[in-house]
Amino acid sequence: MKITCEEASHICTKSQYNEASFWEVLKLRLHVLYCKACAKYSKKNTQLTSLCDKAGLTSLTENDKECMKRDLEKRL
């Protein structure tokens, strides 16, 4: 059940968006117990997610992106 640091970072990112399975999260937690670098990465990733949530960041809708693209093309 051991995972690499690369797998741990991938699971950490999936976990950030609530896309990681229970088993993936469990593997990540076990990995973080013995890997200080991944523990630090995971902590920083959690802090970043928290800050983004507090800031209320949103992304553009697909329609807004298309409108912006057309506007930029007209200006060129």
Query: pLDDT for 13-70, tens place per residue?
Result: 999 888 999 999 999 999 999 999 999 999 999 999 899 889 988 888 999 999 999 9
Q: Distance between CA atoms of 65 and 51, rounded to whole angstroms?
A: 25
* C-beta separation of 32 from 42 below 8 A: yes
pTM exceeding 0.85? no
Report the pLDDT value the prediction gives residue 49, as an integer from 0 to 100.
87
SS (H, E, C) the chain: CCCCHHHHHHHHHHHHCCCCCHHHHHHHHHHHHHCHHHHHHHHHHHHHHHHHHHHCCCCCCHHHHHHHHHHHHHHC
